[in-house]
Amino acid sequence: MKKRNILGLTTSGHGFSAALCVEGKIVAANSLERLSRKKYDILLPISKTDLNTFGWNDNPAIYKQHIDLPFDLEKDYSEVDFGKLEGFRRLMDHVLNAAGIGLDDIDCVAYSYRHNGNVKRFFEERIPGAEFIVPEHHLSHACQAFLPSPFEEAAVMVLDGQGVPMKRTGYDQLSGCLAQGSGNRIETIVEFPVSASLGGLYAEVTRLCGFQTNEEGKTMGLAPYGTPKIYEQVKGEIRLGEGAGLRLRDLKRLFSPGDRPKEKLYSLGNCMGFLQKFEPRQKDEPFSDDHKDLAFMAQQIVEDVMIYLAKWLREKTGSKNLCIAGGVGLNCVANFKVLDNSGFDSIFVYPSASDNGLAVGQALYIHNLVDGFERAYRTTHDYMGAPYTETDIRKAVESCREDADVVITEFREMKPLYGTMAQAIETGKITSWWQGRSEFGPRALGNRSILADPRDPDMKDVLNSRVKFRESYRPFTPSVLAERAGEFFELNTPSPFMLLAPGVKPGKENVIPAVTHVDNTARVQTVTRDVNERYYDLIREFEIHTGIPMVLNTSFSIAGEPIVESPQDAVRCFLSTGIDVLGLDRFFIEKRTPE
Ligand SMILES: [Fe+2]
């Protein structure tokens, strides 16, 4: 059988993404938000058709009240021609261009969640003969977790908010599963009903803390400021253990005889009901003790359950390797505690762990599980966006020259540029760094990053006030040369995608205060030269200047906006904020009058 060109397409409340699998390898992936410049862009508002898809028909008003995404329950979008939607066309062009193939070259489309009818019609009209497959949501997450991992075999943990109602579960939704992967096979061991949704619990606490949908990362940052007070009140609701909280309804509806093992493993009891007594924080209102304690509680429960499940999986599968995906997998604090406490030697968390990364999971599902090919792809980096030409870059540089009072230097060689950048960082300048292809996942990993000096105790406040315009309590990340990470962090495993948050070693907190969180952890990115030569060499240069083998890294964006994508986006963000310096490919651009 020929290796098919597979397009993975996914849209949920988290965004709209596409990935291309060519010759069994993921060669391109990106999300609509980066191209449309609208954060969490879901293409079309949540409509009546979506209520069916999500299983929300019972009481749409509740969802509307709890989820701040665009809703339009009056209009029927099921007949909308996606060929006429600019955002959809741009996303298609972007990934096809990055993969170097045309629309006609696609053999198979794996799509999911919303707009299945529209997507099918779009491709049927344009690519006769292409096959359409709608893989199961959590199996696709398991594929996303395991198939691109470095492991030949591994235990797999998938946890999120909710999937889609399925016939085989009596039209119940799931909120996760545990599985085992080996070669190109994945076996589901146990599935979790939506009543046990860790993602749902975390999302609700996120709302109560006054954050918006998809801003769970803010709750994670707030959690260490809280106390265990609320957690102590609610923890009796949480049951851990085989058969815990098993209800007849779940047995009947979820686990039909012979379908799946009947362990339920954990239950959240009436946690959600308990939350009803709290009022959501209003925008711009200060955090009350309750809000901080709620964040603490959600984080603690997620950690308790994940550690329990990981230990159970370790014993059940005998594997030493753990793969994680689903939105909860973006919780780098919990991921590290799982690794530290469950007996696994190695962990892999797919960098785009939430629903956006399903585009990749679905495409690999087709290639490896349906078509049966051996795994030929391993995720070693996350730079999956389309490349830009020298003309694109020069055009952006020229527009910068026209629009602002800047000094522009073009470097023939990169090495002197690293020296100039390192010196700018060392002297307290806020710098930005745009290079190569964009990151697919939510973390900037050195191609679309704002960089600053991790040694400066005031740098957090400076960045927040001059550039990011974001909440002061949120931590910034260190990007550290991989071979030196152990000197600064309690970390003896790679963390290339910023999805582990180990402790900062005693005595080092004061050396790198700008990247040490209030609980003395840091969301580390380990950088190796084979994965990102330019970023590695820049950090190395900073190390030569200062003795510190890391820089502070935060995404090249301002609050409320997606990470910059094109060189033009980079110039725009640079000029509209207090960033002093832009390293754009071979160009070093500095504002003449720093703000
Ligand atoms: Fe999901």
For residues 491 and 526, what is the distance between their CA atoms, to the nearest angstrom? 10
What's the CATH fold of domain 149-349? Nucleotidyltransferase; domain 5 (3.30.420)
Q: Are 350 and 7 in contact (CB under 8 A)?
A: no
Q: How many angstroms separate the alpha carbon of residue 194 from the centre of ligand 1?
A: 11
- Cα-to-centroid distance, 328 and ligand 1 (Å): 9
Identify the pLDDT of residue 249: 47
pLDDT digits 0-9 by tens, 335-370 = 999 999 999 999 999 999 999 999 999 999 999 999
Q: What percent of the chain has pLDDT over 90?
A: 79
- For 167-193, what is each residue's pLDDT tens digit? 787 777 889 999 999 999 999 998 998
CB 33 within 8 A of CB 98: no
The rounded mean pLDDT for the chain is 92
| Residue 131 CA to ligand 1 centre (angstroms) | 23
Ligand 1 centroid to 24 CA: how many Å? 23
- For the ranges 46-55, 113-122, 175-184, the maximum mean pLDDT occurs at 175-184
Q: Rounded to the nearest whole angstrom, what is the distance from the C-alpha of residue 273 to the centroid of ligand 1?
A: 23
pLDDT of residue 46: 87
Q: Is the pLDDT of residue 255 over 70?
A: no
Q: Are 542 and 551 in contact (CB under 8 A)?
A: yes
Residue in 379, 376, 377, 375 with CA at minimum distance from that of residue 183: 375
Rounded to the nearest whole angstrom, what is the distance from the C-alpha of residue 266 to the centroid of ligand 1? 19
CA of residue 161 to ligand 1 center, whole Å: 6
Query: What's the CA-to-centroid distance between 165 and ligand 1, angstroms?
Result: 12
User: Which pLDDT score, from 0 to 100, does residue 57 have?
Assistant: 73
pLDDT at site 398: 97
The answer on pLDDT for 467 being more than 90 is no
The residue with tokens 């030493």 is 320
Closest CA to 572 of 126, 140, 364, 562: 562
Separation of CA 16 and ligand 1 centre (Å): 13
| 128 neighbors 24 (Cβ within 8 angstroms) | no
CA 132 to CA 119: how far, in whole Å?
9
pLDDT at 259 over 50: no
Ligand 1 mean position, distance from CA 353 (Å): 9
pLDDT at 245: 53
Residue in 304, 347, 340, 348 with CA at minimum distance from that of residue 502: 340
Q: Cα(326) to centroid of ligand 1, in Å? A: 5
User: End-to-end CA distance of the chain, in Å?
Assistant: 61
Can 6-44+80-133 and 149-349 be said to share one CATH topology?
Answer: yes
CA 251 to chain centre: 33
> Residue 471 above 80 pLDDT?
no
Q: 354: CA distance to ligand 1 center in Å?
A: 6
> pLDDT tens across 370-397, in order?
999 999 999 999 999 999 999 999 999 9
Query: Cα(39) to centroid of ligand 1, in Å?
Result: 18
CA of 12 to the centre of ligand 1 (A): 8
Distance 421 CA to ligand 1 centre (A): 39
Length reported for the chain: 595
Rounded to an integer, what distance in angstroms lies between the CA atom of residue 144 and that of residue 14?
A: 16
CA-to-CA distance for 394 and 260, rounded, in angstroms?
Answer: 57
Categorize the per-residue pLDDT at 113 as very low, low, confident or very high, splitting at 50, 70 and 90.
confident
Domain definitions of the chain by residue range: 6-44+80-133, 149-349, 390-591
422 has a pLDDT exceeding 90: yes
What is the whole-number distance in angstroms between the Cα of residue 265 and the centre of ligand 1?
A: 20
- State the pLDDT at residue 67: 80
CA distance 544 to 310: 41
Q: pLDDT class for 491, splitting at 50, 70, 90? A: very high
Residues, CB-to-ion distance under 5 Å, ligand 1: 160, 355
Q: Which residue has the tokens 């207090």?
A: 578
* Distance from residue 405's CA to the centre of ligand 1 (Å): 46
Query: Hey, is 9 helix, strand or coil?
Result: strand
**Is the pLDDT reported for residue 232 higher than 50?**
yes
- What is the distance between the alpha carbons of residues 299 and 340, in angstroms, rounded to a whole number? 16
**For residues 449-475, average pLDDT:** 88
Task: Return the CATH number of the domain spanning residue range 390-591.
Answer: 3.90.870.20
Residue 139 Cα to ligand 1 midpoint, Å, equals 10
Q: How confident is the model at residue 244 (pLDDT cuts 50, 70, 90)?
A: low
The first and second tokens of residue 475, run together, are 């931590």
CA of 572 to the centre of ligand 1 (A): 33
The topology (CATH level 3) of 6-44+80-133 is Nucleotidyltransferase; domain 5 (3.30.420)
Separation of CA 586 and ligand 1 centre (Å): 39
At 248 the pLDDT is: 42
CA of 158 to the centre of ligand 1 (A): 8
Asked if pLDDT for residue 261 goes beyond 70, the answer is no
How many other CB atoms are there within 10 angstroms of residue 77's CB atom? 18
In percent, how much of the chain has pLDDT > 70? 96
Encode 286-303: b = buried (16+ Cβ within 10 Å), e = exposed: ebeebbbbbbbbbbbbbb
Q: Which residues pair with 348 in a beta bridge?
A: 323
Residue 85 alpha carbon to ligand 1 centre in Å: 25
Q: Is the pLDDT of residue 526 over 60?
A: yes
Question: Ligand 1 centre and the CA of 199: distance in Å?
Answer: 9
Cα(174) to centroid(ligand 1), Å: 9
Cα 176 to ligand 1 centre (Å)? 8
Q: Which two tokens stand for residue 465?
A: 């006030």
**Beta carbons within 8 Å of 225's beta carbon, 6+ residues apart:** 287, 292, 295, 296, 473, 518
Ligand 1 centroid from CA 160, angstroms: 5
- Residue 97 CA to ligand 1 center (angstroms) comes to 27
Distance of CA 103 to the CA centre of its chain: 27
What's the CA-to-centroid distance between 327 and ligand 1, angstroms? Answer: 6
Distance (Å) from CA 44 to ligand 1 centroid:
19
203 Cα: distance to centroid of ligand 1 (angstroms): 13
